[in-house]
Chains A and B, each alone.
Chain A
Amino acid sequence: MAVPYHLLKACGGMVFAAQGTDIHSFNSNLEYVSTWKYPVKPTETTDISTENPAEVPTGATPDVSAPSTPEGPPAKRRRTETGTDNTPEPTATTTTTTTEVPVKKGRFHRSPVQAANEKPFINCLISSRDGRHLILTTGSDKTIWVLEHDGQGNLKQLSQRPMPKRPCSITLTGDGNTILSADKFGDVYALPLIPTSDPNPNPAAAADSGSSTPKPILSRSATPSAAAAAAAPAAGGFKPQANEFTVHTRRNLRALENQKLSMEQSKQLLKEAKTNESEKPSFEHTLLLGHVSMLTAITVGQSVSPQTGIPREYIITADRDEHIRVSRGVPQAHVIENFCLGHEDFVKALSVLPGSPSLLVSGGGDDDILVWDWLKGTLVSRAEVLKHVKEIAAEAEKVAVSRVFGYQTEGGETKVVIIVERVPALFSYTLNPSTNTLEHSGTVPLPAIPLDVQVLQDNKLLVAVDTSSGDYVSTLVVVSTAAEDGSTVQTTPAPNLPAGEVKYGAEELQKLLYTTETLRKLSDFD
């Protein structure tokens, strides 16, 4: 199955397009320059080998990986393999397997369908403002990659960092030195663009909140002192958390006695295990904030602080539970300034408008896109989407906005283009600066379903379209925004490229390309 370009990034006169696991670069005339390929060979063992380059040669851990190979959730398996660096003492191994690979109980089984998503597929693509770095994330191996761009379209891999949970959206801070990664689990981590060698920055060193170094909020799972306690059971020994006061029945008390006994026995083991550090990533990463919900989008906004009048940065995060949260930037990311509440379904895309940086446009499962004064947390206006989608697809009852792309035209107008999942059109809105409302300024019908959009010079839009269904052949479409009625849509044929090395089935590809609608909650579930 041919994979269409599904992510685009235009920067510094170049265009980068992600196709499955590869990134192709094009010059300003959309002529093909080169390709960066996902390093195929280390795919399966990448994360392990980077974490413990010294100890884990491929296949050195057959005892744990073997039983879970057929249908165990591979995402979990990766973490287990880290745990096996411990000497394979019987007790140690069993505890590790039971806690981390839930194969014991049937209800924890994931369906094998899950495996469809397990090939690394690029799911985020951003660039630094100067165009010298490209940052991308791949889905199944949860890795953040930083590539260096030489200015001519050639990409060189600088680093790869496997995250604890799958990143859903990434962005760069205003100074361009820090990657903010929002993950499926609801946490936002800060990583330096160029990794430092120091894996554990000293938290005490950054204790002064006024200092410029990020003040680490401790990890969700453990504080340093708790880490010692928590790491111990994870690393092999078992420590009962119940005590004589919390357990009352005779049987439970007896069980507790037994647990204590075995704890004594494994104390020796524990000591050994403690020398092995926890399974955390070995590179610098700082937990900034977290939602108890899957994060769907992250962006940063710049504004003058209302308290001090100093220009400051704010982190804006959106989740599946209709929230948009505005937090202060590093190092005060623990302070929530506001929530932009008003969505009634999931939020998927955010865009701080380039021409009006106090305004934020958000879209998702609602019938409208919403315009916010994000620092105040107030809804400024709404713009209809469903109504315009119905003009293209009359039977549509709900929409899933997958992209909200704000840009400034060369004439100085602020425009927003949105993509609605599985609707073959672009919807364009123009900001009315006096009322801060978005006025629908055109619907551009496309020959195929759009996946991503970027702006080129001369007010032209570059759209990646899905060619896997239908007979339309070109994967890139240039839309001239001068005529938004769609009469002058030009198409550019895709450069002839070798197909990606990872093959996807038709159904699998659909799942990978169209993820927005799946965020919607089922209404008949309690």
Chain B
Amino acid sequence: MAPVKKPTVKKDKKQKREEYRAAMREEGVSSLPRKKFYRQRAHANPFSDHQLVYPPQPDQMDWSTLYPDYIAKDSQEIRAEGGSSDSEAAIPKRLTQDVEVADIGCGFGGLLVALAPVMPQTLVLGLEIRVSVTQFVEDRIKVLRHQNAETGGYRNVSVLRANTMKFLPNFFRKSQLSKIFICFPDPHFKARKHKQRIVSTTLNSEYAYVLKPGGIAYTITDVPDLHEWMVQHFEAHPAFERISEEEQDADPCVEIMRTATEEGKKVERNKGQKHVALFRRLEDPDW
């Protein structure tokens, strides 16, 4: 009995989801998306070959669909003159400025939405590996942009599905970013899974590569062991130094990170602890 019943229930749920999301995709939707139609298992395997879309190199990344309000004028004109020929399609439209802030594992996008009004002159990108969750953030930003049409708010934030552990250098050039946020990452409690953690000494080299000297990596977690792990691995890396408590508390982004992230709110509700650590990217020594 149960095995017969179960699939039909599941299918209904799936149908509802699809219908809801299809409706969200239509133009002129003004209500914010609801998470319950976008839930997805909280873990993704960073080592598997997901069907990911990523540019072969940063110059071939088409940012124009993510930040349509920042397309460079001359880039648009060239495109208009040339029409829609194939050679034009190969060169993506340029933006007036580069993405400078990345939220790695942005989840449901709480931090992005909070950062948008705080740094209106900066392009902020959320990166998330889970498809449904990315879609939620996409729809959320779309509605927010629609709702704030007069002020032009939220034009500077966007989201992308990506596996940053593998493909961060495909999106960003050397020293492109000034801030990287790593908020409430998957703790991967089991020792066997530690290699899947988003912070490791070898991965930190890639964060150092995309961060400009003086740039900051922000981390926050509610798991003390993971906090310790992240601190140890960043401190062990010669390209990073930990930022002092005073400076950390003076940074407005820290408060946003504590209170605005979806996970941060959940921890707040459950009266959990939040551990914050910031690391500054140092100049590389001469070689």
Contact = CB atoms under 8 A, between A and B. Distances in A.
Interface of A: 99-100, 185-187, 209-210, 215, 217-223, 225-226, 229-230, 233-234, 241-243, 245-246, 248, 287, 289-293, 305, 307-308, 310, 312, 321-323, 325, 327-328, 332, 334-336, 338-339, 341-344, 521-522, 525-526
Interface of B: 46-51, 56-58, 165-167, 169-170, 174, 187, 189-192, 194-195, 200-206, 208-209, 222-226, 228-229, 232-233, 236-239, 267, 270-273, 284-287
Nearest to A243: B224
B169 A246 contact: no
A222 B47 CA distance: 19
Nearest to A336: B209
A289 B238 contact: no
B195 A220 contact: yes
A100 B165 CA distance: 24
Contact of B287 (A289, A325, A332): A332
A221 B49 contact: no
Contacts of A243: 224
A225 B205 CA distance: 20
Given A99-B190, A219-B201, A312-B287, 17 more contacts: A209-B285, A217-B237, A233-B191, A245-B271, A248-B270, A287-B201, A289-B202, A305-B287, A307-B287, A322-B56, A323-B169, A334-B204, A334-B205, A335-B205, A335-B208, A342-B56, A526-B51
Contacts of A242: 189, 223
Contact of A246 (B200, B206, B228, B272): B272
Residue from the set A323, A327, A332, A334 with the largest chain B CB neighbour count within 10 Å = A334
Given A99-B192, A209-B238, A526 B50 contact: yes
Nearest to B285: A209
Given A334-B239, A335-B284, A241 B187 contact: yes
A218 B236 contact: yes
10 contacts: A220-B200, A241-B189, A241-B225, A312-B287, A322-B56, A328-B287, A332-B284, A336-B209, A339-B57, A342-B57
B202 A290 contact: yes
Contact of A341 (B56, B166, B232): B56
B90 to A, nearest CB: 13
B287 A246 contact: no
A276 B152 CA distance: 62
A225 B287 contact: no
A99 B189 CA distance: 12
Nearest to A321: B166
B239 A335 contact: yes
A287 B202 contact: yes
B287 A215 contact: no
Contacts of A339: 57, 169, 209
A221 B47 contact: no
Contact of A226 (B202, B229, B271): B229
A289 B233 contact: no
B170 A341 contact: yes
Nearest to A227: B232
